[in-house]
Amino acid sequence: MDLNLNHLRILRAVADAGSISGGAERLMISQPAVSKQLSVFESNLGLALFERLPRGVRLTHSGTVLADYARRIGTLEEQAVNAVQQLRGGSRGSLCVGASTTIAVYLLPEVIVSYRRQYPDVQFHLTVASSAQVAKGASEGELDVGLTEVDRADSTVDSRVFREDELVAIAAASHPLGRNREVTVRQLCAQPFVVRDTGSDTKSFVERAMAARGLTVSPAMSVGSTEAVKRAVAAGIGVAIVSRLCIDLEVQARLLKILPVGGLKIRRPLYRLTRKTMPETNALRDFNALVDAAATR
C-alpha cells in the first residue's frame, strides 16, 4: 500500500494545530478540503486517525504513530529543500543550531549577531538545552549542529573539539582569600562550595573534576544554573569553580574575583556534533567558520 505524502502533510498540520480549522489555516487551504482529504486518508488506510471532539480533534493511537512519521518525513523534506538551495550557491535556507546553556548564553550571542548580519537570507533557529538533549537532536538530525560540553559516544555522530574552556575559582570580591597573592589548593578546598545541581544522584562536574585530582570539596549549596551559582558566590555563601566565559561582567563590576589558585588548572573541551550522514551546507559551513574565529579570540 502506498502512502500519499500530501495526506501525511495534512495529518501533520492538523495534529500540530490540534484542530482541522487550525491545520487548514497552516496549510492555507479550506477547512472542508482538509476534512475531505482526511476522510479519504482514513478510508484508504482502514484506520481512524482522529477522534472528533466538540472543540478540535484528538489523535488516536494510529494517528499518533503516523503523525510521528509525518513529522520526520517533513523534517527530511525541509532539509532536502535547504540542501538544494545550498547547492545552488550562497548561504540561504535555514540553519538549526543546538547549544548547552553555557555555550548558548556566554559564547554564541556575538556569533549569532555577526552571522545574521552577514547572512540575512538564512532562517536561523537556536535551541538551548542540556548537553544530552543537544546530542540527541544532532544524532536524530533535528539539529544541523550541536555545541556541547559533553562528548557523544555515538556512531551516528561526528564529534570534534572546537574549543577548550578554562574553569576558574571565584569568590565574592570582599572574600578574605581574594586578598592573597596566591591561594593554595588546600585553602580553596577548605571553603564551602556552591555547585551546579545535576538533577540526579551524580556529583557536579566540579566535584568530579576535583576528585579526579585527589581533592575533596564540601558543597554548601547546589543550584540549578550558572547565574544562580554566581549570585550565591557574590552574596558570600561560598566559593565556586565556573567557566571563565561567564564571569567577565561580574569581575568588571567588582562583584566577583578570580582566585589565584596555584597548581590548579581545569580545562574541558567543548564539542561540535553533527550527524555523519548530513552534508555540510553553505549555511552550516559559514556558521562553523564564525564559531571557530570566536574560539581563537
- Look at residue 250 in the predicted model and tell me its pLDDT: 93
Helices (H) and strands (E) in the chain, counts: 12, 11
Cα(83)–Cα(37) distance, rounded to whole angstroms?
Answer: 30
pTM: 0.64
Strands 122-128 and 93-99: parallel
CATH of 5-84, one of 3.10.20.600, 1.10.10.10, 1.10.1510.10, 3.30.70.20: 1.10.10.10
- Look at residue 158 in the predicted model and tell me its pLDDT: 92
CATH of 90-163+269-295, one of 3.40.50.720, 3.30.70.100, 3.90.870.20, 3.40.190.10: 3.40.190.10
- Look at residue 89 in the predicted model and tell me its pLDDT: 54
Which residues pair with residue 183 across a beta bridge?
A: 261
Strands 122-128 and 240-243: unpaired
Architecture of the 166-265 domain: 3-Layer(aba) Sandwich (3.40)
Residue 244 is classified by DSSP as G
Tens digit of pLDDT for each residue in 142-185? Answer: 899 999 988 877 888 999 999 999 999 999 999 999 888 899 99
Cα(111)–Cα(183) distance, rounded to whole angstroms?
Answer: 35
Compute the residue count for the chain: 297
As annotated, the residues of the chain forming the CATH 1.10.10.10 domain(s) are 5-84
* Residue 222: strand, helix, or coil: strand
The rounded mean pLDDT for the chain is: 87
- Look at residue 233 in the predicted model and tell me its pLDDT: 95
As annotated, the residues of the chain forming the CATH 3.40.190.10 domain(s) are 90-163+269-295, 166-265
Q: For the chain, which ranges sit under pLDDT 50?
A: none
- Look at residue 111 in the predicted model and tell me its pLDDT: 94
H or E segment to which residue 243 belongs: strand 240-243
Strands 145-148 and 93-99: parallel
Cell readout for 34 is 482538509
- Look at residue 200 in the predicted model and tell me its pLDDT: 56
Q: Which residue has the cell 556541547?
A: 148
